Amino acid sequence: MSLKDTTNGSDDSVPASVVLFHPFVPPEASQRVADVLSTRWIGQGPLVDKFELEFETMIGSGKSLAVGSGTDALHLAFLLAGVGPGDEVICPVFTCTATNLPLLYIGATPIFADINPETMNMDPNSVRSLITDKTKAIVTVDYGGLPCDYEEINKIASQFGLKVIDDAAHALGAKYQGVPIGAVADFTTYSFQAIKHITTGDGGLLHVKNSELAEKGRRLRWFGIDRKAKFSGIWENDITEIGFKYQMTDIGAAMGMAGLSHLDEVLSYRRGLLKAYENGLRNVPGVENIGINAQSDRLHSAWLHTILVENREVLKKKLMTHGIESGQVHYRNDMYSIFGNRREYLVNMDKLEPLYLVLPLHMKVTLEDVENICQIIKAGW
């Protein structure tokens, strides 16, 4: 059902309000959390291990490390990839700042790649043009849930001996050429923040191809301590690596496992909404759907639907008069002082910066809502 704003639940004259985001929390999640609260393990315990195993089964290869946030996962991925002070890492300019901020923790330099204007994912041609002898890795973001062009990106990485780190915060359940996102890059990070496909309240996960590196990641996740050895009574009581407090709790894992049990349902529902937007806004003058011409070899996870429109602010205001939220969600990272000045070579980002708009797409949105939103847009603004 659509969300409705009401006054004490009795004012039927208040119009429907379709919000831009809404968490999906399965009905059994509260009982699973309550069960955890009655045990001795409310921090990192056996449910974290089970959640990781379920994730590994879903991906089909590699090892998973559940952590406190997607940002934690990215920081660990950069460290495990060998990124250090003075290294350059080619990364998307168009993403949440969480993708790139951990590079600053390390003292590395983000080198922003331009976007593909049809998908808003990073352009492999731009990536290739930015490689220097200081380049250590390539970071991707599967914008909105549409995988990047990994055939080209992995080819570039192989040619120059670089690691590929996929920030798949948008892309849980996506596939590239039939391969699950998680098995495509050297490192893949996920976010389970409140409004993602599934949520652990806040949380994340790092999926690593190399099992030996995964073991190092487990130590770095927990103060540099070999947790398994410690609890087995064979730890030598020494710490040789700078570690962090990045572990997930069993409370979060309980929510995550509840969410995973509904993931197929969530993906199917969201993909249905995405298709309805694409069909409803296809060939509408002044409107362009992002990503619809690049899906033949990849499976979208349908986290966002983005359109390009002129006079974006006018359309946003019109939608809001009908009780419909919309917004930009992400912004080019080079606009923030922490990353330095705006880059002058990002011509595609410059072109799309005033045009892109995200429409509501989540489990509380109905097909009727999408049809209504499309009709409002078709009527002009």
pLDDT tens, position by position, 332-349: 999 999 999 899 999 999
pLDDT tens, position by position, 240-295: 999 999 999 999 999 999 999 999 999 999 999 999 999 999 999 999 999 987 66
CATH of 263-378, one of 3.40.50.11540, 3.20.20.105, 3.40.50.2300, 3.90.1150.10: 3.90.1150.10
User: Domain 29-260 has what CATH class?
Assistant: alpha beta
Question: Of 135, 90, 140, 96, which is closest to residue 113 (Cα–Cα)?
Answer: 90
pLDDT tens, position by position, 219-228: 999 999 987 8
* Helix ranges (DSSP H) in the chain: 29-37, 46-59, 70-80, 101-106, 124-129, 150-160, 211-221, 227-231, 250-260, 263-281, 312-321, 347-352, 367-378
**Backbone region of residue 112 per phi and psi (left: phi > 0; alpha: psi in -120 to 50; beta: other values):** beta
Tell me what the mean pLDDT of segment 58-73 comes to: 97
Model pLDDT, residue 11? 38
Model pLDDT, residue 4? 35
Question: Of 324, 323, 322, 328, which is closest to residue 306 (Cα–Cα)?
Answer: 328
**Measuring CA to CA, how many Å separate 43 from each of 114, 187, 194, 204, 254?**
41, 25, 19, 15, 11
Would you say residue 232 has pLDDT above 80? Answer: no
- Give buried/exposed letters for 348-368 (b at 16+ CB in 10 A, else e): bbeebeebbbbbbbbbebbee
% pLDDT > 70, the chain: 95
Model pLDDT, residue 295? 67
Q: What is the DSSP letter of 333?
A: G
**Location of structure tokens 């955890």:** 36
Tell me what the mean pLDDT of segment 339-365 comes to: 97
Would you say residue 141 has pLDDT above 70? Answer: yes
**Does the fold of domain 263-378 match that of domain 29-260?**
no
Q: Could you tell me the pLDDT band of residue 83, with boundaries at 50, 70 and 90? A: very high
Mean pLDDT of the residues in the chain? 94
Domain ranges of the chain: 29-260, 263-378
Tell me what the mean pLDDT of segment 35-56 comes to: 96
Tell me what the mean pLDDT of segment 97-111 comes to: 98
More confident residue, 28 or 236: 28
CB 304 within 8 A of CB 143: yes
In angstroms, how far is the first alpha carbon of the chain from the final one? 27
Q: Could you tell me the pLDDT band of residue 170, with boundaries at 50, 70 and 90? A: very high
Model pLDDT, residue 309? 98
